[in-house]
Amino acid sequence: MKYNHIKFFIFFFFITFFNLKILFSETTEDKIFEVKNISVEAESTSSTKAKEIALLQAQEKGFKNLMNKMLLKSEYEKIEDTSIDKILEFVDAIKIQNEKTPSTKYIGKLTIIFNEEKILSYLNSNNIKFTSLRSKPLLILPVYKFAGVTYLWEKKNIWRNIWVDDSSNEGLIPIKSSEGKFTDFILFNQDQAVKKNIKNLELLAESHNTTGVLIAILKKKFNRDKSRIFFNLNLSIYRFDGGETNTFQDTIEIYSNEYSDDVLKEAKLKVEQFVNQQWKTANVITSKKEFERITVSYKNLDDWINIKKIINNISIIDKYNVSKFSSDKAVILLSYSGNLNQLKVAFKQSDLDFDLNSKNLNLVK
């Protein structure tokens, strides 16, 4: 028996060390601090000087894009005047996606990779509230209403088509669309009442590996003389990870002769802004660190290694120490930002179940 335990611990330390190398490469997959698709264009006396100007522009735009992603509007105002010299301190790397260099111009699309530790330290030292917690995706059900007809899975649904063609993945809470599988139609269609089919919505979310469902109803109607078109937007988010249901309403008004796909893109942008704003509001954290002793339960060594890797990748967790360890349980002391409910939500996004009463953590079955 003692020999078996020795073998287990030797194997545990070997695997932990081996997986640490994998963890570094996996951590780079966390895209929160990697801002892509920054378009820049600059002109100077030469293409070299134009590129220097463009790179500075890209880093400034990238920083503002990142802050817009992480901060509420009231907090964003605090960083608007951050100097370019300060911003340059936060940059780890610049990737060129594509570029053109005419004689006196530089045109490019770039990716800016920011240093997570430096960014968070800057926000904390300036008492700026933020969130760096990335949610699992929401599944969007785009319902389009016009002339007494309601569309959801049909090809004629122009509102759904724009989401299928261009899903939203840039924010902290990606919005995922479905191409309309047969099982999707069975679980939910436009003629069903939402309140009576919450369980079906949950099954639909699970089938797409999402944390909830966003029902986005866009209703098109004319005024009496048909000179104007009104697009009424009605949103409802149903989360199945412990988060609250959120709703939103807005209207886009245009002249009839101004209609184009840009109206649908504007409505799509409003949806994205609402979804990200409510997520940031619910998960904003401060610089104050909290400590919690929790028990991690697992069935085997692979489970324990997976849980360790997940914990290392959760942005609101600063560090942890293992105080007790056995073949099926470990006791760890966590240092994290936020509160216990936010910690529970963070674990949930990574398929970990955290019981607030027992302080027990395990992989979702």
pLDDT at 140 (0 to 100)? 95
In the predicted structure, residue 157 carries a pLDDT above the cut 70: yes
Q: Which residues of the chain are in CATH 3.30.70 domains?
A: 2-29+286-363
CATH topology assigned to domain 2-29+286-363: Alpha-Beta Plaits (3.30.70)
Q: What's this model's pTM, rounded to 2 decimal places? A: 0.78
Q: Which of 226, 303, 256, 356 is nearest to 347 (CA)?
A: 356
Q: Are 252 and 263 in contact (CB under 8 A)?
A: yes
pLDDT at 276 (0 to 100)? 92
Q: Are 328 and 297 in contact (CB under 8 A)?
A: yes
Q: What 3-state DSSP class applies to 319?
A: strand
pLDDT in tens, 254-303: 998 888 889 999 999 999 999 999 999 988 887 778 999 999 999 999 99
CATH topology assigned to domain 138-273: Rossmann fold (3.40.50)
Tokens representing residue 70 in the block: 């992480």
Crossing angle (nearest 10°) for helices 261-283 and 340-349: 130
pLDDT range class, residue 26, cuts 50, 70, 90: very low
CATH of domain 34-125: 3.30.1660
pLDDT in tens, 92-140: 999 999 999 988 999 999 999 999 889 999 998 898 999 988 899 999 9
Q: Are 363 and 353 in contact (CB under 8 A)?
A: yes
Residue ranges of the alpha helices (H) in the chain?
A: 2-27, 47-70, 73-76, 84-90, 116-125, 158-165, 182-187, 198-207, 261-283, 301-312, 340-349
In the predicted structure, residue 242 carries a pLDDT above the cut 80: no
Bridge partners of 219, per DSSP, are: 145, 232
Q: Are 332 and 321 in contact (CB under 8 A)?
A: yes
Q: Which residues of the chain are in CATH 3.30.1660 domains?
A: 34-125
Average pLDDT over residues 334-356: 90
Burial class (CB in 10 A: 0-12, 13-18, 19+), 24: exposed
d(CA 277, CA 172): 10
d(CA 362, CA 355): 9
At residue 60, what are phi and psi to the nearest 5 degrees? -70, -45
pLDDT in tens, 66-97: 999 999 988 999 998 999 999 999 999 999 99
Q: Which residues of the chain are in CATH 3.40.50 domains?
A: 138-273
Average pLDDT over residues 1-21: 41
At residue 157, what are phi and psi to the nearest 5 degrees? -75, 95
CA of 217: how far to CAs of 147, 155, 236, 238, 273, in Å? 14, 16, 9, 14, 16
Average pLDDT over residues 157-186: 86
